[in-house]
Amino acid sequence: MKRYHPLLVALHWLLALMIIVALVMGSNVLAALPNDHPDKMFSLRGHMLIGITVGFLMILRLVTRLRSTHPPKADTGNGVLNLAGSAAHWVLYILIFLMVASGIGISIGAGLPDIVFFGSDAPLPESFDHLVPRTAHGVLSKLLMLTILAHIAGWAYHQFNLKDGLISRMWFGSRS
């Protein structure tokens, strides 16, 4: 078998895009807007919807990963790099699930579902900084960004140093 299950491939690329958008939106758009700014509600709604969708799609991806067959593990010729590559993939899952959980924690702690989605006239809290999940969300976002960069560095190592065409495994086509 040369390639991953097509659903895993589709979810990989869709989730990659959604996660990058959510990280950029959270760190560059939401962080820059005060909670009383008129655009904050629109941006927060989009960020929350992406986060919720990422959570559901990650569950689907994990179930598909656990139930489908995979190509053999990639071999760099270095045991430490092989272990790091395997660990990085599971760390990505853990960090993404923790990001979603901390986002839900912020949402519940600040009463955001009623305010953002269900038409409550209550204003957004002055700040989210007093919420413990907010601190976790910020730290986790930095760890997730670093892990994504490590993932991309691993791809570049395979692509340009090993020249083993590893990326083709995460694309569509014949699996045999």
Q: How many domains does the chain have?
A: 1
Count the alpha carbons within 13 Å of 74 in the hemisphere toward its beta carbon: 27
Write the pLDDT tens digit of every residue in 39-72: 999 999 999 999 999 999 999 999 999 999 999 9
In a domain, 24, yes or no: yes
Cα–Cα dist 71/91, whole Å: 20
Find the domain containing 83 and state its range: 6-170
In a domain, 1, yes or no: no
pTM of the model: 0.93
Asked whether residue 119 carries a pLDDT value surpassing 90, the answer given is no
Average of per-residue pLDDT values in the chain:
94
Model pLDDT, residue 128: 92
In a domain, 175, yes or no: no
In a domain, 125, yes or no: yes
Over residues 85-94, mean pLDDT: 95
Cα–Cα dist 45/47, whole Å: 6
Nearest to 140 by CA among 95, 103, 106, 172: 95
In a domain, 164, yes or no: yes
Asked whether residue 1 carries a pLDDT value surpassing 80, the answer given is no
